[in-house]
A and B are shown apart, each in its own frame.
Chain A
Amino acid sequence: MSGRVLVGVKRVIDYAVKIRVKPDRTGVVTDGVKHSMNPFCEIAVEEAVKLKEKKLVKEVVAVSCGPQQVQETIRTALAMGADRGIHVEVSGKDYETLGPLQVSKIFAALAKKEQADLIILGKQAIDDDCNQTGQMTAALLDWPQGTFASEVSFEADKLKVVREIDGGLETIKINLPAVVTADLRLNTPRYATLPNIMKAKKKKIANVKPADLGVDVCSRLEVLKVDEPPQRQAGVKVETVEDLVGKLKEAGRV
């Protein structure tokens, strides 16, 4: 057991920004828009750092795929307590079509190369809402997975995961190595304050290309169009119940 944890972090448009669709309907405006780490990825980093602080794991490695700018996101993870970072360089067209399948192939290759015992990811990204990378990574590695984790603990040489599912909580025990995806209530991520960011500048970020890992980032998906959701129609106020029934009948709803 190497005691190494890989944490995936994704650079996404900040959650508080109002999203605008590009005029040519091919995607969303990203130029000049504030970006930050995916909130679920922050929770994943926090969990990994907590495990290290409890001395249950030895090293936390933050990984991100994308162009030069994702180094900021890796730096934030380093400021939160990760030991070193790996930047998988993907840019231009490849980055626009980068999806869960390619990312999970990259993670699987990295997990083998770094001999990781645990991979922690956010359950989904707030920009594409795929909720697939964790599951695909586990499948590619043939590792057990504890998804939607709201609590993670070690029991002997196994991992106990409490999962948030429809209708309540499910507790499972899985073998290591494993993949865990973080849900909202797993923990409270610490803020990466300025002193921590400064200290993190000394930590290393390695550069890797997908080709070095033997991964083909060609996408099998093509985005046809991106549209805004339909505008909400203004509501209509009525005076009496009879009016309401009348209006509903008119609209063909009754």
Chain B
Amino acid sequence: MSNPLRGEVIRLYKNLLYLGREYPKGTTYFRERLKTAFMKNKDITDPEKIKKLVDRGDYVIKELEALYFLRKYRAMKKRYYEPEH
């Protein structure tokens, strides 16, 4: 059984769910797509494949963090700094 990896997958799901609260298109939009994405792969048992998918999930976390930072940075720059900056 993929028991140790089960913990990893659940951890990944919770982390993504937490990040999704700030998603620009809305928390519900994010949560639906997150659930669909995870459910699509629920029957995979090969530990190698699961590890790869978890890595992809970690990559998505990094992408989301970058998205949130850029959004905030650009908003702050637009509001507080002259266009020439």
Contact = CB atoms under 8 A, between A and B. Distances in A.
Contacts, number: 34
Nearest to A42: B72
26 contacts: A15-B75, A15-B76, A16-B24, A16-B71, A16-B75, A39-B76, A40-B76, A126-B76, A126-B79, A184-B73, A184-B76, A184-B77, A184-B80, A184-B81, A188-B69, A189-B69, A191-B19, A191-B65, A193-B15, A193-B18, A193-B61, A193-B65, A194-B15, A194-B19, A195-B15, A197-B18
Interface in A26-45: 39-40
Given A188-B69, A189-B69, 9 more contacts: A15-B72, A16-B24, A16-B71, A16-B75, A40-B76, A191-B19, A193-B65, A194-B15, A194-B19
B14 interface: yes
A193 B19 contact: yes
A39 B15 CA distance: 22
B59 to A, nearest CB: 14
Interface of A: 15-16, 39-40, 126, 184, 188-189, 191, 193-195, 197
Interface string B10-49: 0100110011000010000000000000000000000000
Given A184-B80, A184-B81, A191 B68 contact: yes
Contacts of B68: 191
**Nearest 4 A/B pairs, CB to CB:** A194-B18, A191-B65, A194-B15, A39-B76
Contact of A39 (B11, B14, B18, B72): B72
A39 B79 CA distance: 12
Interface centre among A16, A126, A188, A191 (most CB of B within 10 A): A191
Contacts of A191: 19, 65, 68-69
Identify whether the interface residues of A are mostly helix, strand, loop, or mixed: loop
Nearest to B65: A191
Contacts of B72: 15, 39
A16 B24 CA distance: 9
A78 B67 CA distance: 23
A93 B24 CA distance: 34
A118 B55 CA distance: 40
A193 B14 CA distance: 10
Nearest to A190: B65
A40 B79 CA distance: 13
A59 to B, nearest CB: 26
Contacts of B75: 15-16
Nearest to B69: A188
A194 B14 contact: yes
Contacts of A184: 73, 76-77, 80-81
Nearest to B24: A16
A193 B11 CA distance: 12
Nearest to A189: B69
Contacts of A189: 69
A235 to B, nearest CB: 20
A187 to B, nearest CB: 11
Contacts of A16: 24, 71, 75
